[in-house]
């Protein structure tokens, strides 16, 4: 299982690399990695598992964060987040997006960043996405709210982009044009 010691941190070159597309059928290794990523995000939202394994909560995790530069990530939102979504996304893409933007009013955090970085991270408010599941079946869905933001955060990881790259360096809390604020702790 994935533990915090397996997660690479800011400064590691893999976090700045463009991850590679995954081939189907999935190798045993890629299948295991996909399942481990999903297991991490599920465990990281369970108080007993957090305590037992010293996990840091996260709604998502991407393969490059465990130093594997492949286009795979997992997201998990349990019922008490008001969402109910659990997915593995392989070779994901955004096929269309709203003009309207959205940002978390508390900003974003990242399992690969050990310091708080204040500021608004502009994202698309709504995205229509496509990805493949572990069986190689393509799916398409429309996301809004925190899941839309998290999907974009994870997709960025596959392209070597960190959340703070999007923060206005002069004024981290500058108003974002045509954006809605989402009041939710931080994605953790």
Under the binding rule (CB under 6 A), the answer on residue 186 touching ligand SB7 is yes
Q: Which two tokens stand for residue 9?
A: 């941190």
Under the binding rule (CB under 6 A), the answer on residue 67 touching ligand SB7 is no
Under the binding rule (CB under 6 A), the answer on residue 58 touching ligand SB7 is yes
Pairing of strands 126-132, 138-144: antiparallel
Cβ closer to ligand SB7: 91 or 112? 112
Question: Residue 90 has what DSSP assignment?
Answer: E
Range list of H helices, the chain: 28-43, 47-53, 145-158
Under the binding rule (CB under 6 A), the answer on residue 66 touching ligand SB7 is no
Under the binding rule (CB under 5 A), the answer on residue 88 touching Ni ion is no
- Taking the complex as a whole, the smallest distance from the CB of residue 25 to ligand SB7 amounts, in Å, to 26
Residue with nearest beta carbon to ligand SB7? 187
Burial of residue 123 (CB within 10 Å: 0-12, 13-18, 19+) is buried
Choices 12-20, 89-97, 145-153, 166-174; region in contact with ligand SB7 by CB under 6 A: 145-153
Under the binding rule (CB under 6 A), the answer on residue 131 touching ligand SB7 is no
Distances (CA, A) of 138 to 71, 130, 134, 141, 187: 14, 7, 9, 10, 26
Query: How would you list the strands of the sheet with 123-124, edge to edge?
Result: 123-124, 101-104, 179-182
Under the binding rule (CB under 6 A), the answer on residue 62 touching ligand SB7 is yes
Among 60, 64, 119, 147, the residue binding ligand SB7 under the rule CB under 6 A is: 60
76 is in an annotated binding site: no
Residues in contact with ligand SB7 by CB under 6 A are 58-62, 65, 104, 108-112, 149-150, 153-154, 157, 186-187
């Amino acid at each position: 299982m994935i533990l915090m010691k397996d997660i690479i941190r800011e400064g590691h070159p893999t976090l700045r690399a463009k991850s590679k597309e995954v081939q189907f059928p999935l190798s045993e290794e890629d299948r295991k990695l996909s399942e481990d990523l999903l297991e991490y995000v599920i465990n990281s939202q369970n108080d007993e598992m957090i305590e037992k394994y010293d996990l840091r909560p996260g709604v998502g995790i991407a393969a490059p964060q465990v130093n594997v530069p492949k286009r795979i990530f997992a997201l998990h939102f349990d019922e008490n987040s008001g969402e109910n979504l659990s997915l593995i996304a392989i070779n994901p893409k955004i096929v269309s997006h709203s003009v309207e933007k959205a940002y978390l009013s508390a900003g974003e955090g990242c399992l690969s960043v050990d310091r708080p970085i204040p500021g608004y991270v502009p994202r698309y408010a709504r995205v229509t996405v496509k990805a493949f599941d572990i069986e190689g079946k393509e799916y398409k869905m429309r996301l809004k709210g925190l899941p839309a933001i998290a999907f974009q955060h994870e997709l960025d990881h596959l392209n070597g982009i960190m959340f703070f790259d999007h923060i206005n360096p002069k004024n981290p809390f500058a108003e974002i044009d045509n954006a809605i604020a989402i009041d939710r702790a931080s994605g953790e």
